[in-house]
Structure 1
Amino acid sequence: MALTVQQRGSIFLAVTACLLVIGVCAPFSGHDVQRVMQIAIGLCAVLYGLSVAPVERLVDRATALGLVLIIVLGLVSSLLAHQPLWAFTEVALFISCGAIAVAFALFRRRGGERLDRTLILVVTALCLIKSTQYLYAAGLAFSSGEPTLDTDLLLSSFSNKRFYGQFQTFTLPLLALPLLIPTVSRPFKGLVFTLLCVWWLIAISGGTRGTWLGMGIAGVILAVIGPWGRRWVGWQLAALGGGLMLYWLMFTVLADHLGIEVVSAASDRLTTSLSGRGPIWWQAWHMIVERPWLGFGPMHFADIANKIAAHPHQAILQWASEWGVPSALCVAVLAWRGGWATVGELRDGAVSSERVDLLRLCLFAALIGALVQAMVDGVIVMPNSQVWLALVVGWLMALHVGRTPASAALPLAWGAWKTLSVIAVGLLIVIAVRDVPHIAQAQQQYLDTHDNLLQPRFWAQGVIAR
């Protein structure tokens, strides 16, 4: 018996939610598990996309042409790259993220406003699980009798605390949505606010300055947009104050009372240092100067070995050095057009208390925070962050109303996109099947000869230079 479109959507939602929980909350999770999770979500998105067809276009003609240009430039750059297979893999990753965004956009447009509640429920559940894990680990640490407490060890399921911070940059803005909705009961708002305070406690403890910077810039922009943006800022500042109070009580008052020395304190991160980014930024700049038009090839920053990282921790430098300056400019123009269109809708609904308008506000804050953090961190590299970026973009696409009547979808263009998505996800699956059985051995060999340091890119050992 054939499944209905609604049933297919329910299966897509259930499987995607389970994969997100595994990738973010499982104790055994990390960069490689999250990459496999991302490929699996990409496969689910492609299968869902094959089973439905858009009634109207998801993007306008200019955006579609821009995306085509980016992909064509990426393919040409890959052909000329030192390691074409890895370059094509990066292009496939970009296309699969697009497929995930398209799937979420189609899913939300077909499911309607009820799915907005589902999204926030999933976000709240993930934050609740992670907060419980953190507080449990803190309780064990304080009761262990050890003379020192390393706050970094309280963070779980991520290979690096900055990757955890990237996840928080996406979820901190969304977690505030129930606090903005007038019809939500006060007791429930109290529970959500408590959770938001704990979530800020973890953000402070993790010490990811990119998260602090991203949330700060997002707050400034939302404060200018309208009264609901200022209310969002107010709730975030109140929760930040609560998080600071909890941090002081736990890691100053309680730690001093028990005679425990706190290691990796948040105050240690209050610096203006680049944390080693200077040399890799210069490496990316020299790559741009040497090959400005098509770059060295997607993923090929990782083909030039250095002792710091397999990506430059700066989205513009990374894209320009690998894909070329024209491609980077095209990406920047598309991001600006999409962001400005969203700002227009936010201004139109500046005084609206409708749930959909408030959700758009929170999604936009998450997007701004992530894009700002991408200027100093690997948001466009890490698998979990790529999935959440695709989710946020896809949901905003679904909520976009537009100032002109929507055009009918073009069957030929939709068919070409589906074919390209299938090929891209197929390549990612082939790479995963090839590498996953040997990942542990390959990583150990690399660690034995490279100062016990992994440099994540596609996999946790992301250096592709031979």
Structure 2
Amino acid sequence: MVLSVQLRGSIFLVVTVCLLVVGICAPFSGHDLQRVMQIAIGFCAVLYGSSITPTEPWVDRQTAWGLALIVGLGLASSLLAHQPLWALTEMALFVSSAAIALAFASLRRYGGEPLDRVLLLIVVLLCLIKTLQYLYAGVLAFASGGHTMNPDLLLSSFSNKRFYGQFQTFTLPLLALPLLLPTVSRSLRGMAFALLCAWWLIAISGGTRGTWLGMAVAGMVVALIGPWGRRWLGWQLAGMLSGLWIYWLLFTVLATYLGIDTSNDASDRLTTSLSGRGPIWWQGWHMLTERPWLGFGPMHFADIANKVAAHPHQAVLQWASEWGVPSTLCVAFLAARSGWATIVVLRERAQFSERADLLRLCLFAALVGALTQSMVDGVLVMPTSQVWLALVVGWLMALHPWRTPVTASWPLAWRAWKLLSALAIALLVFVALRDVPHIKQAQRQYLDTLGSYLQPRFWAQGVIAR
């Protein structure tokens, strides 16, 4: 039985890695392909999750009842929404993300510590491919003989550089793990630091202020946890300063020597402007005050057309305006409760240098950075970010030790969850099969009649207002 579970987990992992490589690294990738990738991963996660029977519950009763309340409130909000099908589709994304998190948690629980190495290798592989793509594009740009250069054009596979920055917010903390492990050789440590510097170079070049803010808050939080947190912060600062120095050499010294003018310089992003967020924040606030109890319905910020975006670029405001204030308070309570439980474990094991303890620290830093960035960006909206958020949460769940004696699982609750996750992924597959064949035509029609650029939400053209 254990072997068969491990085999199914290996298949799920291989398929997921292949989908991540295509969605994140393929030059032709973008928002719509990444959404399809997310649905495919969710489908695999539901299949894998339904094939195993947990011997103990993943969450305690208070958390389980809180999640059930969120689902119930979301269902009521969806049924009362202007477009119930789209609202239920957003709910299905929430459920499928939870299914992905549980699949990764189960994978780590049954696979044990060797899978921590696999996770690190996956992160290194993805970041290495993206770094090579960036350097190759940079070489071509410098050798082209042009008089101007836009560093934004060196970024690939993401329809917006902020989405690229969200991916970096999840992976920058994990790239520091080899630098913390005492058993890593000096040569491997040097290569790991070189990759970290290159990844910071891309983060600086991309100019995503949400990534900078998220990493700054994550650094301050983990530095208070213990000596390993401060060491993690030290490596990140060294990587950031090295990346900044390389950026200056490339885009100032070398560009000036070759007579190339640089547009969209990273220094131009060092502002306190809201970048158009003011109007959409006001829209979210008005929606919240108009319907505080159940909101307008999941995804229904996109049902009120505006000239800026199909989501408010602020996680709390988005959830409150669409799902309602009671659901938002429940989510905030569960997030704070889970975060505090993780901090307690990190503080208790602050002096330990086992791989699992150091990985827990890096995962927690990634989670803090991503949640911070979600206060100013669409981390809870973009497909790649949703997958990585589920991965980080699921791995942290698997690493978390139970404080109480292990109890038996809840068979009825598990069967209800399997039914709910199956219905959710079935709805997502239905929406994908319905929309993907006509998605380019719908985008052209929108651009020709309603807007000058696409506003991503579920699809790259995310406005659902009729």
TM-score range, shorter chain: over 0.9
**Letter matched to residue 283 of structure 1:** Q
2:94 aligns with 94
- Percent identity of the aligned residues? 74
1:40-80, Cα deviation, whole Å (9 max, x unpaired) = 00000000001111111111111111100000000000000
CA RMSD of aligned residues (A): 0.9
Segments of 5+ residues of structure 2 without an aligned counterpart are none
SS of equivalent to 1:407: coil
1:23 aligns with 23
2:149 aligns with 149
Q: Distance in 1 between matches of 2:347 and 2:84?
A: 45
* 1:3 Cα deviation after fit: 8.2
1:393 aligns with 393
* 1:420 Cα deviation after fit: 0.3
2:329 aligns with 329
After TM superposition, where is structure 1 displaced by more than 4 Å over at least 4 residues in a row? none
Matched, 1:431 2:424: no
**Letter matched to residue 220 of structure 2:** V
Which residues of 2 match residues 10-89 of structure 1 at below 5 A? 10-89=10-89
Q: Distance in 1 between matches of 2:43 and 2:70?
A: 22
Q: Distance in 1 between matches of 2:406 and 2:232?
A: 31
1:383-431, Cα deviation, whole Å (9 max, x unpaired) = 0000000000000000000321232211111111001000000000000
Matched, 1:103 2:103: yes
1:141-172, Cα deviation, whole Å (9 max, x unpaired) = 00000110011100000000000000000000
1:213-254, Cα deviation, whole Å (9 max, x unpaired) = 000000000110000000000000000011001100100010
**Letter matched to residue 313 of structure 1:** H
* 1:449 Cα deviation after fit: 2.0
2:88, 2:298 within 8 Å by CA — same for their partners in 1? yes
**Letter matched to residue 464 of structure 1:** I
* 1:456 Cα deviation after fit: 0.2
**Letter matched to residue 295 of structure 2:** G
1:356 aligns with 356
Matched, 1:116 2:116: yes
Matched, 1:259 2:259: yes
SS of equivalent to 1:403: coil
Matched, 1:339 2:350: no
1:161 aligns with 161
SS of equivalent to 1:308: coil
1:448 aligns with 448
SS of equivalent to 1:279: helix
Q: Distance in 2 between matches of 1:227 and 1:186?
A: 21
**Letter matched to residue 61 of structure 2:** R
* 1:371 Cα deviation after fit: 0.2
1:303-338, Cα deviation, whole Å (9 max, x unpaired) = 000000000000000000000000000000010011
Q: Distance in 2 between matches of 1:345 and 1:56?
A: 20
Q: Distance in 2 between matches of 1:218 and 1:342?
A: 14
Segments of 5+ residues of structure 1 without an aligned counterpart are none
Q: Distance in 1 between matches of 2:406 and 2:319?
A: 31
Q: Distance in 1 between matches of 2:312 and 2:135?
A: 33
**Letter matched to residue 247 of structure 1:** Y
Which residues of 2 match residues 212-231 of structure 1 at below 5 A? 212-231=212-231
SS of equivalent to 1:297: coil
**Letter matched to residue 380 of structure 2:** I
TM-score scaled by length of structure 1: 0.99
Q: Distance in 2 between matches of 1:215 and 1:325?
A: 28
Which residues of 2 match residues 264-275 of structure 1 at below 5 A? 264-275=264-275
Matched, 1:133 2:140: no
Which residues of 2 match residues 181-220 of structure 1 at below 5 A? 181-220=181-220
1:332-357, Cα deviation, whole Å (9 max, x unpaired) = 00100110000000001100000000
Q: Distance in 2 between matches of 1:6 and 1:79?
A: 40
Q: Distance in 2 between matches of 1:44 and 1:191?
A: 34
SS of equivalent to 2:262: strand
SS of equivalent to 1:225: coil
1:53-110, Cα deviation, whole Å (9 max, x unpaired) = 1111111111111100000000000000000000000000000000000000011000
Aligned length: 465
TM-score scaled by length of structure 2: 0.99
Q: Distance in 2 between matches of 1:405 and 1:354?
A: 24
Q: Distance in 1 between matches of 2:297 and 2:253?
A: 52
2:307, 2:451 within 8 Å by CA — same for their partners in 1? no
Q: Distance in 1 between matches of 2:3 and 2:430?
A: 28
Q: Distance in 1 between matches of 2:183 and 2:423?
A: 46
Q: Distance in 1 between matches of 2:69 and 2:407?
A: 21
1:158-216, Cα deviation, whole Å (9 max, x unpaired) = 00000000000000000110100000001000001000000000000000000000000
2:363, 2:396 within 8 Å by CA — same for their partners in 1? yes
